[in-house]
Amino acid sequence: MSKQTIYYTLTDEAPALATASLLPIFGAFAKEADIELKLTDISLASRIISSFSDLLPADKQAEDGLKFLGDLTASPEANIVKLPNISASLPQLYAAIKELKTQGYDLPDYPENAQTDAEKDVLARYSKVLGSAVNPVLRQGNSDRRAPAAVKGFARKNPHSMGKWSKTSTSHADYMRDGDFYSSEQSVTMDSAQTVKIEFVGKDGSVEVKKTLPLLAGEILDSMNISCAKLRAFFEASLQEAKKDNIMWSVHLKATMMKVSHPIVFGHAVTVFYKDVFEKYSELFKEIGVNPNNGLGSVYDKIQTLPEAKQEEIKQAIQACYDTRPELAMVDSDKGITNLHVPSDVIVDASMPAMIRNSGKMWGRDGKAHDAKAVIPDSTYARIYQETINFCKTNGAFDPVTMGTVPNVGLMAQKAEEYGSHDKTFEIAAAGTMRIVDANGNVLMQHAVEKGDIWRACQTKDAPIRDWVKLGVTRARQSDTPAVFWLDENRPHDNQLRNKVETYLKDHDTNGLDIRIMSYNEAIRFSMERIIRGEDTISVTGNILRDYLTDLFPILELGTSAKMLSIVPMLEGGGMYETGAGGSAPKHVQQLMEENHLRWDSLGEFLAVAVSFEELGIKHNNEKAIILAKCLDKATGKLLDTNKSPSRKSGEIDNRGSHFYLALYWAQELATQTENAELATKFSPLAKALAAKETTIVAELAAVQGKPAGLSGYYHINLEEVTKIMRPSDTFNQALASL
Amino acid sequence: MSKQTIYYTLTDEAPALATASLLPIFGAFAKEADIELKLTDISLASRIISSFSDLLPADKQAEDGLKFLGDLTASPEANIVKLPNISASLPQLYAAIKELKTQGYDLPDYPENAQTDAEKDVLARYSKVLGSAVNPVLRQGNSDRRAPAAVKGFARKNPHSMGKWSKTSTSHADYMRDGDFYSSEQSVTMDSAQTVKIEFVGKDGSVEVKKTLPLLAGEILDSMNISCAKLRAFFEASLQEAKKDNIMWSVHLKATMMKVSHPIVFGHAVTVFYKDVFEKYSELFKEIGVNPNNGLGSVYDKIQTLPEAKQEEIKQAIQACYDTRPELAMVDSDKGITNLHVPSDVIVDASMPAMIRNSGKMWGRDGKAHDAKAVIPDSTYARIYQETINFCKTNGAFDPVTMGTVPNVGLMAQKAEEYGSHDKTFEIAAAGTMRIVDANGNVLMQHAVEKGDIWRACQTKDAPIRDWVKLGVTRARQSDTPAVFWLDENRPHDNQLRNKVETYLKDHDTNGLDIRIMSYNEAIRFSMERIIRGEDTISVTGNILRDYLTDLFPILELGTSAKMLSIVPMLEGGGMYETGAGGSAPKHVQQLMEENHLRWDSLGEFLAVAVSFEELGIKHNNEKAIILAKCLDKATGKLLDTNKSPSRKSGEIDNRGSHFYLALYWAQELATQTENAELATKFSPLAKALAAKETTIVAELAAVQGKPAGLSGYYHINLEEVTKIMRPSDTFNQALASL
């Protein structure tokens, strides 16, 4: 393996198309610093093909790019630029298989109901590519996210819209006060490596081993339980309170990521809100397969098999619920999609910042914004939103022009905390005790449980914690910014973590650094008091807060979390540079296909590659790489300032045009910098050529727009074909080639 | 001076009457521990008499009790039990003079308009007894206040009413964001003792010395300014916002204590709210002497000299204001007294806790409770109320049954901070600069000021700060409770203070103590998070927060601040034990005069005397005194538990009856304690006698009620006469005498 290689990922949809234009630019510039950018295909299509390569002819086989990169994460030399990819739902998988078949890939169908061993084998292969299959393989480290200086500067000069807050806003977050995970959490740190058992003990004394867990020494193990009865009572009380107070009601969960526990919680919200319907049609709904965990939408889906009259009766029963319940917040008031239709529609880490940005309001049935009760049942993290709401009521809306920033260093590696709990989460079938027993038979933790309760265990390994503490200190030092470890003294898990943090902090030189430990409420309040004064504060948090805060603050600061720099410093010393959230933008592809205009903004790639260059330069003492990085950042800043980001409209500047300006500004920065004469000399002609031919190149790029692009593959693109589409300016291509 | 003396104050009105019954009991018990209780007269009447004793015949002269006690504060042996006294207003002074004259005291009249030297001498003598004349002389130390265990325990068992809070409450505190004292504060610590000058520099460069201030080394000197223009703009914006948001409006100040600055601020609130009236009648109001600083009441007062028609016209103009303004909170809706009628009617430290206790509501014109915008213009301390309101919205009302307590250690000695600023407060007459110049001519601090601004300087001496830090540590140690120094890092004054606190903390053994420094918001939040968990937190604060918090928390915890134990550990080593706030209760006297029922509750005296005994016992190694104290506390607890406090109704148990039960329970506790056999033996017969004769004594005490008491003096009581009235049970008196 070359020591000067950056692995750039080929993913899906819009970012993949953009890569065909952008990577040649990065490659041309990088080679002047003896850096090679290698493209690794981890697209959904390639992951399908490689999963079945042993069954395909030689010319149809593909390397397993994801496995290659996964292996690479174990090397200190890993330097991976990771673009957004498809986390495939079943419909997307079907479509991809279908497309590949038309391209001559003799793939087996997805076995909906696998019976034979062969079918089960096929199912297992497909299961590996379904859902969030890439990040768990590549994210072999903790998380370091921040708003890059250029982005923050741009947002200050071009503030996004921010709704004003009234001091008399009645909006608030509502959460359980007991019976939730927060109230029931227990936590231990393992003295030694051993295998523990998760057991259910029935009322009759029978013991059922639910799972065995091998644990490492120093690993933190938690268990907690949500009471089904208290959860339902909470929903009912909250609904009645909202009705009485005449405020709109909404529920906010993370049913996508917390894929086992949160759909159940969501289901309870649905069956409590529509209690009359679910009680009346209890038997019928069972028969036709209604699953409230999939939302009210499931009712509308499943009743389609019923006679019209019956359907109408049920729909009227649903309507009748609205008379006795508070107004329900809408996800899409035009289409009548309520907050309770689909569990994945209201994802707390996106929906709460949106509400806070919108004056604390959500959308009502009338299509207008109203104050709302935001129900976030488990109180563990709900409190931070109430704190933020209270802060906005007191101090008014945040001002993107003046506000400071809150970067995050997050504990993420090795499925830390709740995000690794899915296989240790159980919906309790009967009353009894859930307990964890160590290798010697000692009960480490136990909870009395009732039918319907949701019990779970979470693990947090020691090595990631050590690394996270180090990362927090490093970030504080490098940014010269106060860093706050968010640890709630009322959480047993956090107290275990705090012991480690206090110990591991001693391993580092913290002299002159402002490092604090605060509970979540204190920490967010402290951070908010600072941002309204224009001051920055690093949040050093666990895994869920990492996720929530890197939406909350970016959305308030920048209007989006897609422009964050997201770095995964690997536990083994390498680094992965993620190019922003926001998905792979299927609508962008559609526009390209119809109008040959790609509105994908490669800003995330510009920022990530700059850091990738910089880290590589530091690691290999490659001065040119560091200068390339600096100049790329300056070029990105100039691109933002001169408004050369892609427009949404065909006929105006698109992704390709913005790449041209990046190349122009980057070359100009390199030509005029004085740190490295060789680079200046090298890039001077390119800078001049691109500047001289700006009009021609822009015209050539514009000329192709307005008609279909002629894209033959969607999931499995032909890179040669896409390159032709994405590099239509001969003048620009020749200038680059002359380097 | 005896080393075992407690100085018990004879004050005014109800507490003075109660003393005639209670002091003989204390005296009888105390002598068994070789303690003498000496009565010192500091009543308003005695202060008047002693001021003119050089002009009165020998038999009408009086010792200056206040001067005697004031001198005593300089002695480490001082042990003073201080009861509530009259802070005389002019009408009260007139009435007292009149009464004394009828008793044959040949006193000069109060010279309303003193011209001659003789008149000025008389005015100066009367001025010394006017207003808050006692506390500044006696409070030669900092402040140590807490809810005694017996009181707290009683409140938990017998919780006062507490309004529920809605999560959708729109009530809030509103305050200036700039242009106020908080935003403009500057602060220095003096290196050396010297005299500085407060100067006004006019736009023409002319310098006027407003005051010279001798300062000690280590003294903290602050200056700050409130912008008149910004204050008025804030009021206007706040009124318009309240109108738009349809919320009731109210203003909360401390015009009594902050007697120079706050009436001016109140005046601006009045003239902004009734802008149309004050603009239209500007000239007329000047002629007839309307002073808006005295409230809208001043308008109603002064227009009485005008013709009926004109009065009516003005009243209608006032009414018309209510159409364009938000609803105004009422002090007394029955009588039509609004929040803006009288500056002393809405005293922030009492009104805000009342609002918080009443579900965040104030009273509207309709006699019903409504959400309100509580305007507290200067933001320095306003934030704590908004924090408390947000906390109640989030967590619901506090529960007196379970909540912890927040004792206070307050910096009070030597007119610390704002409470000593009256003679250094100036309403600015013309634009220019206010500055403080040191002995060498260096400008220490300066503010650009405009006409109408309110500029002030505050002093805080070093010795009280040292003592306050020591007291905080001592209280934390003695109560085994976390202590928080409330210091706002955004306040220059507090940062000067913080330097000293951090230094002086090193002088003490803080090993094992939880002592923290937090900003006000952090500190109150921390304290509230703890009290809802039943945990106690000592607040160690500056002078204003001392005053505010010892109302806020007691009112929430106990329903009143009158039951707090208030100790002033003197800087010189002595101690003063104050017997609760709440005034001297003129209405109680009226009831006694008419029905011979005194409903005064001597609880404060019971508690204060117990501490007085305890401190004296510790100081003189007097074991019996300590046991007397312990048993008195237990007796007080039993008295509360058995509901032997005075009833409000004639015919039921009154102040005298409760004293009997105190004596009974106290004697019983002493008889049954096993620490000191001598005391047990001594009190055993009394305990038996009182128990045996309970029915007789209660009957004798009840027998006198229902008819006028025959009290001949009001301000200047005849102690012999009062003693007869207050000790009507021969059986009880004889039992006591047998000790």
Distance CA A377, CA A379 (A): 6
Min Cα separation A549/chain B (Å) = 21
CA angle, A73 then A78 then A81, to 5°: 100
Asked whether the predicted pLDDT for residue A174 surpasses 90, the reply is yes
Average pLDDT (A596-617) is 95
Q: What share of chain B is helix, strand, coil (3-state, %, to 5)?
A: 50, 15, 35
Distance CA B514, CA B407 (A): 15
| Residue where the block lists tokens 């105390």 | B30
Bigger pLDDT: A3 or A594?
A594
Which stretches within B506-542 are classed as H helix?
520-531
Question: Facing residues of B361 across strands?
Answer: B371
Asked whether the predicted pLDDT for residue A1 surpasses 50, the reply is no
Question: In chain A, what percentage of residues exceed pLDDT 70?
Answer: 99
B247 vs A168: CB contact, 8 Å cut-off?
yes
- CA nearest to A247 within chain B: B168
Residues of B in contact with A247 (CB under 8 A): 168
Instruction: Name, in order, each residue with C-beta under 8 angstroms of B585's C-beta and a sequence gap of 6 or more.
Output: B13, B14, B15, B84, B600
Interface confidence (ipTM) of the complex = 0.88
B172 vs A174: CB contact, 8 Å cut-off?
no
Distance CA B232, CA A203 (A): 70
Distance CA B616, CA B601 (A): 25
A386: nearest CB among B386, B394, B529: B394
State the pLDDT at residue A3: 58
Token pair for A587 = 């609508």
Distance CA B375, CA A38 (A): 64
Question: Facing residues of A208 across strands?
Answer: A200
Hey, which bits of B472-559 come out as E strands? 483-486, 515-518, 538-541
Structure confidence by residue, pLDDT tens digits, B684-707? 999 999 999 999 999 999 999 999
Question: In chain B, what percentage of residues exceed pLDDT 70?
Answer: 99
State the pLDDT at residue A586: 87
B166 vs A247: CB contact, 8 Å cut-off?
no
Best mutation target, A238, A376, A390, A491, to test chain B (most B CBs within 10 A): A390
Neighbours of A648 (CB within 10 A): 10
Distance CA A176, CA A382 (A): 9
Residues of B in contact with A170 (CB under 8 A): 167-170
Structure confidence by residue, pLDDT tens digits, B615-624? 999 999 999 9
Hey, which bits of B411-548 come out as E strands? 425-427, 432-437, 443-449, 454-460, 483-486, 515-518, 538-541
Q: Are A577 and A419 in contact (CB under 8 A)?
A: no
Hey, which bits of B26-89 come out as E strands? 36-41, 79-82
State the pLDDT at residue B714: 95
Region of poorest pLDDT, from A503-507, A577-581, B545-549, B676-680: A577-581
Residues of B in contact with A249 (CB under 8 A): none
At A179, phi and psi to the nearest 5? 80, 5
Return the amino acid letter for B451.
K
Distance CA A549, CA A353 (A): 9
Asked whether the predicted pLDDT for residue A600 surpasses 50, the reply is yes
Best mutation target, B165, B167, B484, to test chain A (most A CBs within 10 A): B167
Bigger pLDDT: B132 or A403?
A403
A167 vs B172: CB contact, 8 Å cut-off?
yes
Token pair for B120 = 């000025």
Token pair for A298 = 């499931």
Distance CA A404, CA B268 (A): 36
DSSP A218: T
A172: nearest CB among B241, B393, B525: B393
Residues of A in contact with B167 (CB under 8 A): 170, 172, 174, 241, 245, 373
Length of chain B: 739
Average pLDDT (B440-457) is 98
B166: nearest CB among A168, A245, A522: A245
Distance CA A383, CA B167 (A): 14
| Residue where the block lists tokens 């650009």 | B448
Asked whether the predicted pLDDT for residue A664 surpasses 50, the reply is yes
Distance CA B725, CA B707 (A): 12
- CA nearest to A374 within chain B: B167
A172 vs B174: CB contact, 8 Å cut-off?
no
Angle between helices A44-51 and A90-102 (to 10 degrees): 70
- CA nearest to B171 within chain A: A168
Q: Which of B549, B223, B162 is nearest to B355 (CA)?
A: B162
Question: Interface of chain B against chain A, CB under 8 Å?
Answer: 166-170, 172, 174, 241, 245, 247, 371, 373, 386, 390, 393-394, 521-522, 525, 529
Q: How remote is the C-alpha of B327 from its chain's centroid?
A: 30
Question: In chain B, what percentage of residues exceed pLDDT 90?
Answer: 92
Backbone torsion region of residue A377, taken as left when φ is above 0, otherwise alpha when ψ lies between -120 and 50, otherwise beta = alpha
* DSSP notation for A606-668: HHHHHHHHHHHHHHHT-HHHHHHHHHHHHHHHHHHHTT-SPPSSTTS--HHHHHHHHHHHHHH
Q: How remote is the C-alpha of B529 from its chain's centroid?
A: 27
Average pLDDT (B3-31) is 95
Which residue pairs, CB below 8 angstroms and at least 24 apart, start in A154-157?
A: A154/A637, A154/A640, A154/A641, A155/A400, A155/A557, A155/A558, A155/A559, A156/A400, A156/A401, A156/A402, A157/A641
Average pLDDT (A427-454) is 98
Return the amino acid letter for B675.
E
- CA nearest to A171 within chain B: B168
Instruction: Name, in order, each residue with C-beta under 8 angstroms of B210's C-beta and a sequence gap of 6 or more.
Output: B198, B199, B200, B426, B434
Asked whether the predicted pLDDT for residue A398 surpasses 50, the reply is yes
Min Cα separation B356/chain A (Å) = 16
A168 vs B522: CB contact, 8 Å cut-off?
no
Structure confidence by residue, pLDDT tens digits, A638-663? 999 999 999 999 999 999 999 999 99
Token pair for A530 = 């600072």
A168 vs B172: CB contact, 8 Å cut-off?
yes
Question: Interface of chain A against chain B, CB under 8 Å?
Answer: 166-170, 172, 174, 241, 245, 247, 371, 373, 386, 390, 393-394, 521-522, 525, 529
At B128, phi and psi to the nearest 5? -65, -25
Residues of A in contact with B386 (CB under 8 A): 394
In b/e form, how buried is each residue of B109-137, taking b as 16+ CB within 10 angstroms? ebeeebeeeebeebbebbeebbeebbeeb
State the pLDDT at residue B346: 81
Query: What CA–CA distances, in Å, run from A137 to A20, A82, A141, B486, B568?
Result: 25, 12, 10, 49, 67
Residues of B in contact with A522 (CB under 8 A): 522, 525
Return the amino acid letter for A703.
A
- CA nearest to A243 within chain B: B168
Instruction: Name, in order, each residue with C-beta under 8 angstroms of B306's C-beta and a sequence gap of 6 or more.
Output: B288, B314
User: Dihedral through CA B700, CA B701, CA B706, CA B708, nearest 10?
Assistant: 100
Min Cα separation A497/chain B (Å) = 22
A168: nearest CB among B167, B170, B521: B170
A:B CB pairs within 8 Å:
48
Structure confidence by residue, pLDDT tens digits, B358-417? 999 999 999 999 999 999 999 999 999 999 999 999 999 999 999 999 999 999 999 999
Average pLDDT (A706-731) is 95
A245 vs B167: CB contact, 8 Å cut-off?
yes
Min Cα separation A395/chain B (Å) = 9
Instruction: Name, in order, each residue with C-beta under 8 angstroms of B320's C-beta and a sequence gap of 6 or more.
Output: B276
Best mutation target, A244, A394, A520, to test chain B (most B CBs within 10 A): A394
B373 vs A172: CB contact, 8 Å cut-off?
no
Residues of A in contact with B170 (CB under 8 A): 167-170
Min Cα separation B167/chain A (Å) = 7
A170: nearest CB among B168, B386, B525: B168
| Residue where the block lists tokens 């100081």 | B619
Per the prediction, chain B carries an average pLDDT of 95
Question: In chain A, what percentage of residues exceed pLDDT 90?
Answer: 92
State the pLDDT at residue B3: 58
CA angle, B675 then B680 then B684, to 5°: 155
Neighbours of A221 (CB within 10 A): 24
Structure confidence by residue, pLDDT tens digits, B529-538? 999 999 999 9
Residues of A in contact with B169 (CB under 8 A): 170
Q: Which helix (H) or strand (E) holds B503?
A: helix B492-505
Question: Facing residues of A207 across strands?
Answer: A201
Radius of gyration of chain B (CA): 27
State the pLDDT at residue A487: 98
Q: Are B331 and B297 in contact (CB under 8 A)?
A: no
Q: Which of B341, B363, B372 is nearest to B270 (CA)?
A: B341
A245 vs B525: CB contact, 8 Å cut-off?
no
Distance CA A312, CA A309 (A): 5
Best mutation target, B168, B171, B172, B522, to test chain A (most A CBs within 10 A): B168
Q: Which helix (H) or strand (E) holds B120?
A: helix B117-129
Distance CA A105, CA A108 (A): 9
Residues of B in contact with A525 (CB under 8 A): 521-522, 525
Structure confidence by residue, pLDDT tens digits, A41-81? 999 999 999 999 999 999 999 999 999 999 999 999 999 99
Distance CA B422, CA B412 (A): 15
Token pair for A227 = 């009471």
B245: nearest CB among A166, A241, A247: A166
Distance CA B47, CA A282 (A): 84
Token pair for B22 = 């209670």
Residues of B in contact with A371 (CB under 8 A): 168
Question: Facing residues of B188 across strands?
Answer: B221
B167 vs A373: CB contact, 8 Å cut-off?
yes
Average pLDDT (B136-144) is 93
